[in-house]
Chains A and B, each alone.
Chain A
Amino acid sequence: MSVLGSRRNAAAFSHAPPTPQLARLRAMLKGEHLLYLASIVGMIVLWHVIATTFFKPQFFPGPAVVFATGVEMVQSHELFEHIGISLQRILIGFFVGSAIAAPIGLLMGSIRKVRVVFDPYTQFFRFVPSIAWLTPVVMWFGVGEISKVLIIVYTTTFIVLINTMVGVANIAPNKLRAAACLGATPVQAFFHVTLPASLPFILTGMRLAMGNSFATVVSAEMIAADTGLGYLIFNSRLWMATDRIFIGIVCLGALGLITDRFFRYLIVRFAHQYGPIE
Chain B
Amino acid sequence: MLSKLVRPEAEAAADFLVARNVSYGYETKGRPSPPPVLAAFDLVITRGEFFCLLGPSGCGKTTVLNLMAGFLSPREGTLTLDGRPITGPGVDRAVVFQSDDSLFTWLRAIDNVAFGPRMTGMDRDRRYALAREYLRLVNLEGQGDKYPGELSGGMKQRVQIARVLANDPKILLMDEPFGALDAQTRTRLQDELVDVWGKMRKTVLFITHDIAEAILLADRIGIMTRGPQAHVGEIITVELARPRRRGSPGFGELWERINALIEGTREDEQ
Contact = CB atoms under 8 A, between A and B. Distances in A.
A36 interface: no
A182 interface: yes
B9 to A, nearest CB: 33
A150 to B, nearest CB: 34
B102 A174 contact: yes
A275 to B, nearest CB: 6
Contacts of A174: 97, 99, 101-102
Nearest to A276: B149
Interface in B64-98: 69, 71, 88-91, 93-95, 97
Given A174-B99, A188-B119, A273-B147, A182 B94 contact: yes
B115 A181 contact: no
Nearest to A180: B89
A192 B119 contact: yes
A178 B95 contact: yes
Interface string A180-219: 1111110010001100110100000000000000000000
A172 B103 CA distance: 10
A172 B102 contact: yes
B106 A197 contact: yes
A181 B90 contact: yes
Interface in A141-197: 172, 174-175, 177-185, 188, 192-193, 196-197
B106 A274 contact: yes
Contacts of A184: 115, 119
B63 to A, nearest CB: 14
Given A180-B89, A181-B90, A183-B91, A172 B119 contact: no
Contacts of A178: 95, 97, 102-104, 163
Q: Is the interface of B mostly helix, strand, loop or mixed?
A: loop
The A interface, classified by DSSP as helix, strand, loop or mixed, is: helix
A237 B190 CA distance: 75
A181 B119 contact: no
Contacts of A182: 91, 94, 115-116, 119, 163-164, 167
Nearest to A200: B106
A177 B89 contact: yes
A181 B101 CA distance: 15
B57 interface: no
B105 interface: yes
A274 B91 CA distance: 26
Interface residues of A, number: 21
A86 B164 CA distance: 52
A181 B164 CA distance: 9
A177 B94 CA distance: 10
A193 B119 CA distance: 12
Nearest to B146: A15
A108 to B, nearest CB: 22
A177 B95 contact: yes
A242 to B, nearest CB: 49
A180 B71 CA distance: 9
B120 interface: yes
Interface in B200-215: none
B119 A177 contact: no
Given A174-B97, A188-B119, A181 B89 contact: yes
Nearest to B175: A174
Nearest to A196: B106
Contacts of B69: 177, 181
Given A182-B163, A183-B120, A192-B115, A275 B106 contact: yes
Nearest 4 CB-CB pairings of A with B? A182-B116, A174-B102, A180-B89, A172-B101
30 contacts: A174-B99, A175-B102, A175-B104, A177-B69, A177-B71, A177-B95, A178-B97, A178-B103, A178-B104, A178-B163, A179-B115, A180-B89, A181-B69, A181-B91, A181-B94, A182-B116, A182-B119, A182-B163, A182-B167, A183-B119, A184-B115, A188-B119, A193-B104, A196-B104, A273-B105, A273-B106, A273-B107, A274-B105, A274-B106, A275-B106
Given A177-B95, A177-B97, A197-B104, 13 more contacts: A172-B101, A174-B99, A175-B102, A175-B103, A178-B95, A180-B88, A180-B89, A181-B89, A182-B115, A192-B115, A192-B119, A196-B107, A273-B147
